[in-house]
Amino acid sequence: MGAYEKAYKESIDNPEKFWAEAATKVHWYHQWDKVLDIVNGHYRWFVGGCMNTCYNALDLHVENGRADQLALIYDSPVTDTVKKFTYRELRDRVAKTASVLVSKGVVKGDRVVIYMPMIPEAVIAMLACARIGAIHSVVFGGFAAHELATRIEDAKPRVVMSASCGIEGSRVIHYKPLLDEAIKQSSHKPTSCMIYQRPQARCNMLPWRDVDWAEAEEAASPVDCVPVDAIDPLYILYTSGTTGKPKGVIRSNGGHSVAMKWSMDNIYDVKPGDVYWAASDVGWVVGHSYIVYAPLMHGCTTILYEGKPVKTPNPGAFWRVVQDHKVNVLFAAPTAFRAIKKEDPKGEWIKKYDISSLKNVYVAGERCDTDTLHWVQDITQRKVIDHWWQTETGWAICANPMGLEELPFKPGSPTKPSPGFNVQVLDAEGKPGKPGELGNIVIKLPLPPSCLMGIWENDTRYKKSYLEHYPGYYLTGDSGYIDKDGYVWVMGRMDGVINVAGHRLSTGGMEEVVSKHPDVAECAVIGVEDQLKGELPMGFVVLRDGIVRDEEGLVAGVVQLVREEIGPVAAFKLCVVVKRLPKTRSGKILRGTMKSVADGTEWKMPATIDEPEIMDEIKEAVKKLGYPKTK
């Protein structure tokens, strides 16, 4: 039995023993009374244990010989700035910022909303909250006022921490007016706002409410870490819900720390002192887990990047960061690599940089088509590890556990379930699917440490969204199958399965085929309503830069490709070339919104969309195909 199989078996057969051993890598003020406690559908890990997440991320390393090692490197091509912080320097700034929060009345259990750009103060804010036991809720910087207001309304923060502006490419986004408007819209009013004034655009302050962060921090005396219970919440992170009202996922302190530490060793195969770069945003779960908490708990150097994969200033941006900071592990969304590939299909830019420090590349956040995966592998000459997880889980449900045992690769699959995740596929009636049979992906309870404790102040919604669909299982909301070798294949959201004349087909599977066309940079396939067949697939393709093709010929080629690989059963005939696809700021394609446009049903401009004007282009493209049909 290999190392992975042995670890996985123990994690499923004896989860208490498995995770108790993993927890010995975390610092505890005193140990837990019970490893796992199940109360009314909630799975609580390390009950009775007392610890502090910030202590594990900073103070522990300062005390154990890493005080002068770099903890954080801030690299901002948009402001032409690089700043570096040792563990001691970061600990000192966090301790003083935490002191400012205490002076504003923040105590253990209070909420603090963090609405910040990708600057060091965003990381400092999160750790300062963790230091004093306050629950932080990071809202993606630049979110519209209404979306920020709904989160303030729900979390009811005592303090909001923000900055005067953010920078998106070459655009300066003024945060303060958005924050002021959000507070105006919300019935809950925070007592104070800590504002970090950036030189690119200073803002007006309200003397009765706003505090100049830098001045207050300068005058503050540092405070120590506050011991918290393992099951006390560390943070609330809002994720989009089907109702339009965001769901506040709650993460506990203890279980989160244990899983983060375990994953760094066993999934990412990184050692203390390594340089780890998750090219994400602190507003997303990847930023929480793998920009801030896991690398610092593990004694790594983490990178905070304020820029894009392209145009800041060119498609060599990622490779420059790898060279300049000697990055050992790079983790990004497939969208980032598709953007680089679109502008630099032959990989010319990577040749200008020395990426010899790079061990592995990890991708997650959406399905990674095999074409992109192979392209990244070819130009980097590194292994590309696709892994699958969710905001709700906080770490990988499935991955190739590179630090435990490297399993054979199957491009298109995120490999096998991580220890602790009992992944199964069930049909609509709740019966287990046969190997290779498409169904709904679920996780048999209990969920391992670091998965959501619940939904903030909405237990009914937590149970309805995740636990009631299949009693005894957590519903991931994704569809897919498990093959005969136990590899998991995630084909998209459950609503990414379309029913064409009684045949259940995966739009993700069709996207996989379309992306093989040599002229296609990226694509999206959605299901649209059809009177005859129930649903039909509709494809949107973006061409690689520099490709000039007759659209009719290109579409014919794409249609033929799907016909050859999936068969006439796919009924794939609707296809259109577009300049770009509508995406969230984290890079996820807004397939649901595109479907609403094509079906002619009511839709709302998503708050998370990167460039709202793209939706006009989509409307035109859909019209070209004769949609929406008049009902």
At residue 549, the pLDDT reads: 84
Question: Which range has the worst mean pLDDT, 72-86, 180-194, 535-549?
Answer: 535-549
Q: pLDDT tens across 386-440, in order?
A: 999 999 999 999 999 999 999 999 999 999 999 999 999 998 889 998 999 989 9
Q: Is residue 141 part of a domain?
A: yes
How many structural domains is the chain composed of? 2
Query: For 406, phi and psi rounded to 5 degrees?
Result: -75, 120
Question: Which range has the worst mean pLDDT, 106-120, 141-155, 250-264, 296-310?
Answer: 141-155
**Domain range for residue 101?**
86-226
Q: CA triplet 143, 290, 258: central angle to 5 degrees? A: 125
Residue 452 CA neighbour count, 13 Å, CB half: 29
Q: How confident is the model at residue 631 (pLDDT cuts 50, 70, 90)?
A: low
Among the candidates 226, 252, 283, a domain finishes at 226
**Dist CA 151 CA 357 (whole Å):** 41
Q: pLDDT tens across 88-99, in order?
A: 999 999 999 999
Using DSSP's 3-state secondary structure scheme, residue 117 falls into coil
Q: pLDDT tens across 514-523, in order?
A: 999 999 999 9
Q: What is the mean pLDDT of the chain?
A: 93
At residue 39, the pLDDT reads: 86
**Dist CA 267 CA 304 (whole Å):** 21
Q: Is residue 208 part of a domain?
A: yes
For the chain, what percent of residues have pLDDT higher than 90?
A: 80
**Dist CA 525 CA 502 (whole Å):** 18
For tokens 């991955």, name the residue: 399
pLDDT at 620 over 90: yes
Q: pLDDT tens across 195-224, in order?
A: 999 999 999 999 999 999 999 999 999 999
**Dist CA 119 CA 336 (whole Å):** 20
Q: Is residue 36 part of a domain?
A: no
Q: pLDDT tens across 462-504, in order?
A: 999 999 999 999 999 998 999 999 999 998 777 677 778 666 6
User: Do 306 and 117 touch, CB atoms closer than 8 A?
Assistant: yes
Return the beta strands (E) in 118-209 as ranges: 135-140, 159-163, 165-168, 171-174, 192-196
**Dist CA 504 CA 287 (whole Å):** 35
Of residues 264, 248, 220, the one with CA closest to residue 154: 248
For tokens 């009811």, name the residue: 156
At residue 409, the pLDDT reads: 96
At residue 241, the pLDDT reads: 55
Give the type of residue at 584.
Answer: T
Neighbours of 184 (CB within 10 A): 10
**Dist CA 377 CA 399 (whole Å):** 17
CA 559 from centroid of its chain's CA atoms: 32
* Interval 539-566 mean pLDDT: 91
Percentages (nearest 5) of helix, strand, coil residues in the chain: 35, 30, 40
Q: pLDDT tens across 135-178, in order?
A: 999 998 867 788 899 999 999 999 999 999 999 888 899 999 99
Q: Is residue 217 part of a domain?
A: yes
Q: Is residue 16 part of a domain?
A: no
Q: Is residue 138 part of a domain?
A: yes
What residues contact 122, with CB distance under 8 A and at least 6 apart?
114, 116, 138, 141, 282, 304
**Dist CA 183 CA 593 (whole Å):** 28
User: Do 52 and 228 touch, CB atoms closer than 8 A?
Assistant: yes
At residue 589, the pLDDT reads: 86
**Dist CA 168 CA 513 (whole Å):** 33
Element (H, E) at 303: strand 301-305
Domain CATH number, residue 574? 3.30.300.30
* Interval 77-105 mean pLDDT: 98
Among the candidates 186, 208, 226, a domain finishes at 226
At residue 240, the pLDDT reads: 65
* Interval 357-375 mean pLDDT: 91
**Dist CA 471 CA 475 (whole Å):** 9
User: Do 334 and 585 touch, CB atoms closer than 8 A?
Assistant: no
Q: pLDDT tens across 332-361, in order?
A: 988 899 889 999 999 999 999 999 999 999
Domain CATH number, residue 184? 3.40.50.980
Q: Is residue 520 part of a domain?
A: yes
Residue 352 token pair: 């200008």
Of how many residues is the chain composed?
A: 631
At residue 243, the pLDDT reads: 47
At residue 83, the pLDDT reads: 98
Of residues 610, 537, 600, 548, the one with CA closest to residue 577: 548
CA 59 vs CA 75, 300, 303, 311, 528: distances in Å: 24, 14, 19, 38, 54
Q: Is residue 419 part of a domain?
A: no
Give the type of residue at 540.
Answer: F
Element (H, E) at 251: strand 247-252
Q: pLDDT tens across 225-265, in order?
A: 999 999 999 999 998 654 457 789 999 999 999 999 999 99
Radius of gyration of the chain (CA): 24
At residue 536, the pLDDT reads: 92
**Dist CA 191 CA 182 (whole Å):** 14
CA 425 from centroid of its chain's CA atoms: 23
Among the candidates 179, 203, 226, a domain finishes at 226
Residue 382 token pair: 């590194």
Residue 451 token pair: 């998965």
Does this model's pTM top 0.75? My answer is yes
Q: How confident is the model at residue 109 (pLDDT cuts 50, 70, 90)?
A: very high
Give the type of residue at 74.
Answer: Y
* Interval 547-572 mean pLDDT: 88
* Interval 595-617 mean pLDDT: 84
The β-bridge partners of 383 are: 360
